Amino acid sequence: MTLRALAPSGVPFSLSDIVHGLLAAMGGERSMARFRDQVADRFGKRHVRFFSSGRGAVSAALNALHTRFPARDEVVIPAYTSFSVASAVVHAGFKVRLYDVDPETLGPDAQSLKRALSDRSLCLMVCHLFGCPADMDTARTMAGEHGVPLFDDAAQAMGAAWKGRLAGTFGDIGLFSLSRGKNISAVDGGILVTNEDWLAEALDALAPEPPSAKEKVKLWLTALALCFLLHPRLYWIPNSLPFLKLGESHFDPDFGVAALTPFQAGLGIRMLRRLDRINAGRRRVAVQWMNALKGRKFPSLPEGGDSVWLRLPLLDSGAGEVMKEYGVVPSYPSGLHEIEALRPHLAGSGSYPGAERLARSLVTLPTQGYVTEQDIEHVARVLGGGTA
Ligand SMILES: Cc1ncc(COP(=O)(O)O)c(C=O)c1O
């Protein structure tokens, strides 16, 4: 067992973040309001709502949309995305309607998307995967033609932009995640942003309860652990504990939804202030990877796209090109249509070759702050970059 290991993603807390979190916990609702104002300013949205997780936020958003469109019961999502997205749709009690993705850009495949939309669509979700912004023109136009609300899922792409506009701010409602492997973190958490007053009111009617005292203590302890365990000298510890199931994808619609805590708001406030610096670091590491692995294939950005590369996808990897101790790992193991337990919840059927190709041939390279030039050189030597 090697005693150095890189996390595929993650951003560590400092002890001073934790202290600020604890002070924010004492501030209660005032801390929540500060974080709300900060997010509203940053993303130019009037309404900001917090949840204990991104999937909880998605589930609440779908229920809120349903109050306006009660006859619509299908949520249109990409066939290649986080299993949590499908879990949230089923948690909220709706059918999943899939569309394929373009395996070069990771964005929507226009033909497939067109076939998926109908007057039963509750909303169209577009996910900006791995920090890479999707071209939103097609999605916006098609959603508009069908009168379908657009849900801009920037869970992995806080700070990414397309044509000068931030991911998460397109469409009727947007999502950011604050879970561990995301652009910034509050241990866990989900943020919804919208300018629609009716949607904000519907969300308020569904506001979740605060977590239990036990859950709160668990959040403090996890935050403390995350101060240290993302360090490469220590990451081998969580990395070698199978029960933590790090990096595994599970379809699990049976999850609880609670409110974000003021402690988490305190962490969020600190992290959001660092977002630009964190993203600049990730972009720099991504460029180093691309230079070291010239000749290998990375996603093509849509014109006007500015990615934050939460993780850098390598699109032409072989199955053997996993180097777990260097944070080089596969992502979603299959298209959503291939998840056995999701089948009863699928609306219609179809083929999704783009999703299948990505599930087979994509690994991600880490861009988090602990990656060194030596790590990149070593991995490039093993993976065989063209001119490395
Ligand atoms: C695209 C996307 N949407 C939604 C979610 C759900 O976020 P959370 O992990 O906070 O539940 C995730 C999580 O990985 C995601 O990647």
Q: How many CA atoms lie less than 13 Å away from 203 in the CB half-sphere?
A: 24
Task: Let me know if residue 6 belongs to a domain.
Answer: no
Task: Let me know if residue 2 belongs to a domain.
Answer: no
pLDDT tens across 117-163, in order? 999 999 999 999 999 999 999 999 999 999 999 999 999 999 999 99
Q: Is the CB of 84 under 6 A from ligand 1?
A: yes
- Mutate-to-test residue for ligand 1 from 129, 151, 156, highest number of ligand atoms within 8 A of CB: 156
Rounded distance between C-alpha atoms, residue 361 and residue 363, angstroms: 7
Nearest ligand 1 atom to alpha carbon 128: 1
Task: Let me know if residue 249 belongs to a domain.
Answer: yes
Residues with Cβ within 8 Å of residue 281, at least 6 apart in sequence? 367, 369
Q: How many CA atoms lie less than 13 Å away from 144 in the CB half-sphere?
A: 8
CA torsion angle 17 18 19 21 (round to 10)? 90
Task: Let me know if residue 125 belongs to a domain.
Answer: yes
d(CA 218, ligand 1 centre) in Å: 20
Task: Let me know if residue 91 belongs to a domain.
Answer: yes
SS3 for 132?
coil
Low-confidence ranges of the chain (pLDDT < 70): 1-2, 244, 319, 385-388
pLDDT tens across 9-62, in order? 999 899 999 999 999 999 999 999 999 999 999 999 999 999 999 999 999 999
Task: Let me know if residue 10 belongs to a domain.
Answer: no
Task: Let me know if residue 72 belongs to a domain.
Answer: yes
d(CA 155, ligand 1 centre) in Å: 5
The side-by-side arrangement of strands in the sheet containing 363-366 is 311-314, 363-366, 329-330
Rounded distance between C-alpha atoms, residue 226 and residue 232, angstroms: 12
Quote the pLDDT of residue 385.
58
Residue whose Cα lies nearest atom 8 of ligand 1: it is 54
Number of domains in the chain: 1
Q: Is the CB of 55 under 6 A from ligand 1?
A: yes
User: What CATH number has the domain bearing residue 64?
Assistant: 3.40.640.10
Rounded distance between C-alpha atoms, residue 166 and residue 62, angstroms: 22
Task: Let me know if residue 167 belongs to a domain.
Answer: yes
Q: Is the CB of 193 under 6 A from ligand 1?
A: no
The candidate with the shortest Cα–Cα distance to 120, out of 352, 350, 348, is 348
| Contact criterion met (CB below 8 Å) for 302 and 134 | yes
Q: Domain range holding 158?
A: 15-383
Quote the pLDDT of residue 387.
43
